[in-house]
Structure 1
């Protein structure tokens, strides 16, 4: 397995964390007699040698030894090594048809991988070399299709399909293996391989599609039929049955009645990433994968997906319902639809005796904000009956209480009051309070008390104060001005994140408005400090003296680009409205800035001050097209523009007609993406209703 490993100059190579001198130890660890050492070594390979899908020179040097390991019959955990080889070869990137003439040469994840900016110019890069090396050794996958280890046989089919270059032979062997294989997990993997074959080789796909279609029907077992339906949805949706959802739900319930967890113990208890991921796997991982594939294939067919979720959530099986909750997250984050029914059903899971199911439901409801309202009764009941569900010490605010407050439900107020009576509260409490709107007014005195408790010279001063300031500002609780000034005058010059803290303090004073007049001397003094824009913005709100605040804002406006002050200055000037007329010339120039965000902020301010749409609308149209994240600010300005914004209303109408959320993206999501999208939709409707 390791012949020649010591002759490789590993120290001259690199991986994600520098020298690759430790790679031989990782490779040898994959063959250890001890399970925890094998898992730690595989984790190390993914963490360093193949970090986030990157392929280094050391990754390439590992390939012959990894092939040697998978050939070593009897070595445990070779399935994981097969998956690693496939990933190094680009095995979990988006699959492209071979006939299209496109050969992705990269690995998934970070770095310059497939689809990266210079991919077309790097025909000889590490990704291409890796893929060629895996293809060259792909005959080993043929041998492993009949390996004695079921784990290996489960891992091989997709690698076999991707990297073996004789498609006729591949299909024939897959068909034969399906007929001979008795392990259900392997049969499911073979079905997945058939679907992949059909997508990679469209001109040769007919026999594979026919086989998949035949596997969708009796007498095949429910799990296999579900797998075939999922793959058929991906490669030949026109072959799906008309009663797809009812068929899938019936198969799911039948399968669940007969499903029994394997009972296999967790292979290791290491604290590696792989170990943690294994412990997080659902009780019915195969069922989760079957339905995940189908949900992915259905894509924008939200009606079918909602019906499917309702069927999953009505299952008597806890694992089915838990899988449905997690799958709903992807649907909610990516697509717009009427979700009241599935959200209410997710709320019902909060009454379950299964902690994993309750936690899954809370996790999904948390990021839905107002969309979680159909589950608010269940959340309120959980918060009221089980304080342990949200009283989790000082580190974090409990999920059920956070989810309830984010819906704007006033029933969250008593529990939040209990939290705020502690001298030290979870940092996100203040940010959570903001979502309650006027219902949170009774909490203002407690927020003020907690702000008074924040130490002046602690490393956590900013992280403790900023959320409280945010909430007090949102509630316009000007009675807290003395506590704000205590921090403003008292924090040391060398305090960590002092600049960010001063900005949060000035923003709170600005939110208080004229009621914060006793802070005027302090704000005037800050005009000559490190952040005159924030000070001027707050001073305008409190005092309304344009003669005082315009000079520092105009100076900041003249510092575009790297200096980074022109954009916040534009936003501050916009809030001044016509009183900032002296800024129009500078703002007009910034509408031609090379920076997209600078242009957008300048255009918004130009309208708010000068009420001239001519230089504004072209900027909006260009920014809307270039970066979806600008649409919120643009639409909010279009609301203010009224009829003057009519030439841009086609953008708004198109947005409202789009089924996909504007922040949906492959490979990631933000915790507030759904909230931002729902806010955008609300403002889009306001634009058109006011037209």
Structure 2
């Protein structure tokens, strides 16, 4: 397998972390007799030699040895090596590229068509593509499972591939491999138009009796991605019936027990669903249905009504994907997800809580169930104090006052989870009873500890959200006592100043301290706070005008623009500087400056073109823009075409391939709220 490996000048090559001198050891590790060593080696190949889908000279040099390993009968875990080879070869599948897969396997890289190394890797894997013909018949089920996709992608004779996939579907005994063969047929349709008709006919033939429910579900999922006109007319009821029938027949997996080393691959394996095959079947269908959200909601309701716990758990995670990407009527599925909180199955409860946690106010249909879980006692509550109990966090995030007593209990614990203050901010006035407890905990924050910033800032956020000016002495204690060498001192001082600004006139005791900061590197935050507390524009304006200058960092310039906007007409001398900033090369600076231009000057002419450009370039700016348009009223009418288009769009504005943010749904809902307010006001 490794003949000639020492003749390669690996030390002259590179991977993601520098010299590739360690690659021979990784390749030999793939053939180790120890499962953990094999997994660690595969993790190293993905992490360094094929980091996030990249191809290096060491990646290219590895390909011949990977092919020898993949073709070595009897070597364990060759399925993972086949997947690695396919990932190195890249993807021709337009669906995969759109979804950010790019053939990157564990990583999420995408192929650059102009990158010679990617092209060379594709050519090298294609050159060895004949091996995949043999691997489809290999004695190892994991190898047979990995082979169909690689065969379709890299073998140059689609008719031969179609014939082999069809033959193997007749003879293959393993359900998981049969699923992979069906996926191969769907991929063949998407990649090779000349063979599409026969492959589609084959998929259609697999959708009905006498085939088993799992195979029929797999075929329906592939048709949904490549031939929607051939789907069953009663799609949802057919799929739900097949799902329930499959669940009643399901038998324990015959897969060998996988290793659980401390690697990324090991972690991903441990996170797999209880019924990974079922999850894969329905995930494929949901992804293929895409914007057909009514069908997906109906399908989720059927999944969540299953007697099988694994089916319901899979449905919860698929609902997460739907809610993150699409604006859809979600009250019924959210309520059904809430019902899973009463399950005795920990995996299902945890899945439900995780989804409800990122829905914020959209989790309201499940609030009663969340409240019951929060009040149920320790057996259904997370232990320890490192993090906030997730059911409690979800309940508070949806603005339910029933979270207040439990949060008070948290604030009385010896150690307060850092996210507590942020969570309290979502409760609005209902959290007022917690203000004095937040103040007490802020008074306990040490002045020079390595964790001073981490402990203080969430508490400051909560106090600022509640406008609790009684905490001014505790805020000043930190401002006066924080040593200059403290980690993140400037960020802490900025947070302290913002909190005083949130207190408004009730923080007049802090005016001398804020004035002293006007000549400090935290001058911008101090000036904004002083404006809010005292309204002294004469002292504040020169500081903020100076912060618009190029020598200040971009963050300070944006903060200064925001603060000048809050001053309104009193900041008229800032208009020339704001106009310059509105021409910045950085989209966030331009947008912040344009908002301030309106708030200070009231002229929409220089503002709306900046907004239109930023709206197109960076969807993340849209929340800032719509908040300003609400203030603009009728002056923003020329922008209403984009506002209406946003409201008509079924897709969330932050939906993207390859990832998501914890607040994406919340920010999208706030955007929609502002869009409606803009149109209703004119």
Q: TM-score, normalised by structure 2?
A: 0.97
Once the 2 structures are TM-superposed, how far is the Cα of residue 483 of structure 1 from its aligned partner?
Answer: 0.1
Cross-structure match for 1:517: 508
Match of 2:656 among 642, 646, 665: 665
Show CA shifts across 1:445-478 (max 9, x none).
Answer: 0000000000000001001000000000010000
Match of 1:108 among 104, 110, 124: 104
Structure 1 range deviating more: 488-497 or 387-396: 387-396
- Following the alignment from structure 1 to structure 2, what is the Cα–Cα distance between the partners of residues 85 and 33? 21
Cross-structure match for 1:395: 386
Cross-structure match for 1:427: 418
Cross-structure match for 1:43: 43
Cross-structure match for 1:32: 32
Cross-structure match for 1:19: 19
Tell me if 1:539 matches 2:530.
yes
Cross-structure match for 2:57: 57
- Following the alignment from structure 2 to structure 1, what is the Cα–Cα distance between the partners of residues 588 and 41? 45
Cross-structure match for 1:480: 471
Conservation of the 8 A alpha-carbon contact between 2:93 and 2:191: no
Cross-structure match for 1:690: 681
- Following the alignment from structure 1 to structure 2, what is the Cα–Cα distance between the partners of residues 210 and 285? 27
Tell me if 1:181 matches 2:182.
no
Once the 2 structures are TM-superposed, how far is the Cα of residue 168 of structure 1 from its aligned partner?
Answer: 1.4
Over the aligned positions, Cα root-mean-square deviation in angstroms equals 1.9
Structure 1 range deviating more: 138-147 or 104-113: 104-113
- Following the alignment from structure 2 to structure 1, what is the Cα–Cα distance between the partners of residues 542 and 119? 57
- Following the alignment from structure 1 to structure 2, what is the Cα–Cα distance between the partners of residues 383 and 112? 37
- Following the alignment from structure 1 to structure 2, what is the Cα–Cα distance between the partners of residues 642 and 83? 56
Structure 1 range deviating more: 84-93 or 156-165: 84-93
Cross-structure match for 2:337: 346
Once the 2 structures are TM-superposed, how far is the Cα of residue 49 of structure 1 from its aligned partner?
Answer: 1.3
- Following the alignment from structure 2 to structure 1, what is the Cα–Cα distance between the partners of residues 639 and 40? 56
The structure-2 alpha-carbon separation of the partners of 1:370 and 1:111, relative to structure 1 and needing over 3 Å to count, comes to closer
Once the 2 structures are TM-superposed, how far is the Cα of residue 267 of structure 1 from its aligned partner?
Answer: 2.2
The structure-2 alpha-carbon separation of the partners of 1:388 and 1:487, relative to structure 1 and needing over 3 Å to count, comes to farther
The structure-2 alpha-carbon separation of the partners of 1:594 and 1:272, relative to structure 1 and needing over 3 Å to count, comes to closer
Tell me if 1:491 matches 2:482.
yes
Match of 1:311 among 302, 308, 313: 302
Partner secondary structure for residue 228 of structure 1: helix
Tell me if 1:383 matches 2:374.
yes
Tell me if 1:502 matches 2:493.
yes
Partner secondary structure for residue 151 of structure 1: helix
The structure-2 alpha-carbon separation of the partners of 1:428 and 1:84, relative to structure 1 and needing over 3 Å to count, comes to same
Tell me if 1:260 matches 2:251.
yes
Cross-structure match for 2:187: 196
- Following the alignment from structure 2 to structure 1, what is the Cα–Cα distance between the partners of residues 410 and 555? 38
The structure-2 alpha-carbon separation of the partners of 1:92 and 1:491, relative to structure 1 and needing over 3 Å to count, comes to farther
Show CA shifts across 1:509-539 (max 9, x none).
Answer: 0000001000000000000000211010000
Once the 2 structures are TM-superposed, how far is the Cα of residue 424 of structure 1 from its aligned partner?
Answer: 2.4
5 Å-filtered alignment, 1:510-589, equals 510-559=501-550, 562=553, 564-589=555-580
Show CA shifts across 1:70-91 (max 9, x none).
Answer: 1111111111111111011114
- Following the alignment from structure 1 to structure 2, what is the Cα–Cα distance between the partners of residues 397 and 453? 19
Once the 2 structures are TM-superposed, how far is the Cα of residue 667 of structure 1 from its aligned partner?
Answer: 0.2
Partner secondary structure for residue 476 of structure 1: coil
Once the 2 structures are TM-superposed, how far is the Cα of residue 615 of structure 1 from its aligned partner?
Answer: 1.1
5 Å-filtered alignment, 1:69-88, equals 69-88=69-88
Cross-structure match for 1:119: none
Cross-structure match for 2:275: 284
Structure 1 range deviating more: 249-258 or 61-70: 61-70
Conservation of the 8 A alpha-carbon contact between 1:89 and 1:106: no
Cross-structure match for 1:627: 618
Match of 1:150 among 141, 151, 154: 141
Tell me if 1:413 matches 2:404.
yes
Conservation of the 8 A alpha-carbon contact between 1:481 and 1:519: yes
Structure 1: runs of 5 or more not aligned: 117-121
The structure-2 alpha-carbon separation of the partners of 1:412 and 1:333, relative to structure 1 and needing over 3 Å to count, comes to same
- Following the alignment from structure 1 to structure 2, what is the Cα–Cα distance between the partners of residues 424 and 105? 41
Show CA shifts across 1:6-49 (max 9, x none).
Answer: 11111111112222111111111111122222122112211221
Tell me if 1:230 matches 2:226.
no
- Following the alignment from structure 2 to structure 1, what is the Cα–Cα distance between the partners of residues 35 and 106? 29
- Following the alignment from structure 1 to structure 2, what is the Cα–Cα distance between the partners of residues 163 and 181? 22
Q: How many residues align?
A: 681
Structure 1 range deviating more: 20-29 or 406-415: 20-29
Conservation of the 8 A alpha-carbon contact between 2:511 and 2:533: yes
Cross-structure match for 1:140: 131
Structure 1 range deviating more: 555-564 or 418-427: 555-564
Structure 1 range deviating more: 43-52 or 641-650: 43-52
Once the 2 structures are TM-superposed, how far is the Cα of residue 112 of structure 1 from its aligned partner?
Answer: 11
Conservation of the 8 A alpha-carbon contact between 1:230 and 1:290: yes
Tell me if 1:245 matches 2:241.
no
Once the 2 structures are TM-superposed, how far is the Cα of residue 266 of structure 1 from its aligned partner?
Answer: 2.4
Conservation of the 8 A alpha-carbon contact between 1:230 and 1:297: yes
The structure-2 alpha-carbon separation of the partners of 1:259 and 1:560, relative to structure 1 and needing over 3 Å to count, comes to farther
The structure-2 alpha-carbon separation of the partners of 1:385 and 1:181, relative to structure 1 and needing over 3 Å to count, comes to same
- Following the alignment from structure 1 to structure 2, what is the Cα–Cα distance between the partners of residues 305 and 229? 14
Cross-structure match for 1:365: 356
Tell me if 1:605 matches 2:601.
no
- Following the alignment from structure 2 to structure 1, what is the Cα–Cα distance between the partners of residues 114 and 436? 64
Show CA shifts across 1:38-71 (max 9, x none).
Answer: 1221122112211111111111111111111111
Tell me if 1:131 matches 2:114.
no
Once the 2 structures are TM-superposed, how far is the Cα of residue 95 of structure 1 from its aligned partner?
Answer: 5.1
Cross-structure match for 1:172: 163
Cross-structure match for 1:66: 66
- Following the alignment from structure 1 to structure 2, what is the Cα–Cα distance between the partners of residues 564 and 337? 36
Structure 1 range deviating more: 547-556 or 200-209: 200-209
